[in-house]
A and B are shown apart, each in its own frame.
Chain A
Amino acid sequence: MEDSLSFWAFSHTIVIPRLLEGMAITLKLTIISGVIGFALGMIIALMRLSKYKIFSWFALSYISLFRGTPLLLQILFIYFAVPTLINVNLDSFPAGILALSLNCAAYLAEIFRAGILSIPKGQTEAAKALGLSHHQTMFKIVIPQTYRRIIPPVVNEFSALTKDSSLVSVISLGELLYVTQRIGAKYLRPWEVYFWAGLGYLIIVLLLSYVAGRIERSLELKGGV
């Protein structure tokens, strides 16, 4: 029956409504993992820069581990292997969030570290000479100056995260790619489904770039550092 539908009719009645559901899950995955990854990445970056060896060593190991193994493997490991180790059952959604945010934190940590190191030493010295503590110097002087510099690489990372979230389809989480594969197989009309899915990812990433561009411009207007 559906075979006879035109491209537009098929897309409109069958593909798009379901892909929108998948897209909503993809968005949720990306945003939640992005936020957790951002916070965790900042902590890892500060640990990496810590004068205490144990922290910097831990951070370096963390980054090496998550950058050095495939994300697909990390997802499978967290979903299938971790539950057998600690005897808890992880649903595919939390498992997906966990894998994506742990992974993206490793990359973001290096971006943050590079940003912090790019601020001239004189800034830290001036802050310290005024009597600001190490903590205050970091959070009030150094890190705010990195915002504008790190936006482009952070947007890169978030775009990658958006697309990488498709890997979570292997643990049957109904995100955009998973839904796409399902209807593609069911109706045997791959052209339409993959076309719309691709467009879906593209829209998310373009939206992200747009928002980032706005933030970058407003920072420029404020201080221009």
Chain B
Amino acid sequence: MKTKSNQIIIKVVNLEKSFGNTKVLKKISTDITKGEVVVVIGPSGSGKSTFLRCLNYLEVPTGGEIYFHDSRVGFQKKEKEVDLQRSKIGMVFQSFNLFPHLTVLGNLTIAPLNIQNVTKEEAELMARVYLKKVGLLEKINAYPRELSGGQQQRVAIARALCMNPEVMLFDEATSSLDPELVGEVLRVMKDLALSGMTMVVVTHEMDFAREVADRVIFMDGGVIVEEGTPNEIFSSPKEKRTIDFLRKLS
């Protein structure tokens, strides 16, 4: 088993987000500690993706606070500081979002080369290490359109890892994949979890949640309804909404 510290990486206090008059997040509070794998589940429209996107300020919260270590994310910050925070928070999207005009190598090195103080050789070396980790070293010179969905998503994971992030966010990373390609991406995510990476994962894959999560958060209607270990949530849920949701899935 991995060791866990109590060092809080992300602290969320009374987070609120509204789109127009619609309140999507209502006073959400939680902490993400180092090495923890947090899986967020819930029906669509529950606000779980919005919650995740607030963590790296892709969505601008309308209330509350988020701290990355001790510094507040977003709010009154210069753009540069937001960019710096984002570079330490990796993110993987539902639609992969690889850069189609760059090769796999180009996708993996563009951020390190432009943001960190690394040479071309160092960036390339790192790219090779992470490509090997996701099992796609032989695709280093391919363009994204030449890859399957599962391969693209694994490259996207490697791309985020190349920035050496302290935490990785997964926004329904397997939802747009054909069923037979889901497994390869989940395997990479599981390996990553086992290696001690701090992860916040929004997903519909309950088996993954059960197997990999240290903590499961169940969201509905913009609030955290219930949270706990996978065992607590899946075997003995307390809240009615959680029970209803889990029953619908099985």
Cβ 8 A contact of A122, one of B86, B95, B111, B160: B95
Per the 8 Å Cβ criterion, residues 87-141 of A in contact with B are 120, 122-123, 125-134, 136, 140-141
- Is B143 a contact partner of A140 (Cβ separation < 8 A)? no
By secondary structure, the A interface counts as helix
- Chain B residues with CB under 8 Å of A134's CB are 79
- A131 B97 Cβ-Cβ under 8 A: no
B114 CB contacts on chain A under 8 angstroms: 132, 136, 140
> Smallest distance from the beta carbon of A176 to chain B beta carbons, Å?
38
Docked-complex contact A125 and B97, CB < 8 angstroms: yes
Contact A130 B87 (CB under 8 A): yes
Q: Given A129-B56, A130-B159, A133-B80, check contact A223 B86 (CB 8 Å).
A: no
Least Cβ–Cβ distance between B116 and chain A, in angstroms: 9
How far is it, in angstroms, between the C-alpha of A73 and the C-alpha of B98 when the chains are bound? Answer: 47
B100 in contact with A225 (CB, 8 Å): yes
- Known contacts A125-B58, A125-B93, A224-B145; A133/B101 CB under 8 A: no
Which chain B residues lie closer than 8 Å to A132 at the CB level?
83, 110-111, 114-115
| B194 beta carbon closer than 8 Å to chain A | no
Cβ–Cβ contact A223 & B102, under 8 A: yes
Let me know if A130 and B101 touch, CB within 8 A: no
Cβ–Cβ contact A129 & B58, under 8 A: yes
Q: Is the CB of A131 within 8 A of B145?
A: no
Q: Mark A22-64, 1 if CB is under 8 A from B, else 0.
A: 0000000000000000000000000000000000000000000
Q: How far is the CA of A140 from the CA of B97 in the complex (A)?
A: 15
The contact of A131 among B93, B98, B115, B156, by CB within 8 Å, is B115
**3 nearest A-B residue pairs (beta carbon):** A131-B87, A126-B97, A130-B111
Which residues of B pack against A, CB within 8 Å?
A: 56, 58, 79-80, 83-84, 86-91, 93, 95, 97-102, 110-111, 114-115, 143, 145, 156, 159-160, 163
Question: Interface on A for B, CB 8 Å cutoff?
Answer: 120, 122-123, 125-134, 136, 140-141, 144-145, 222-225
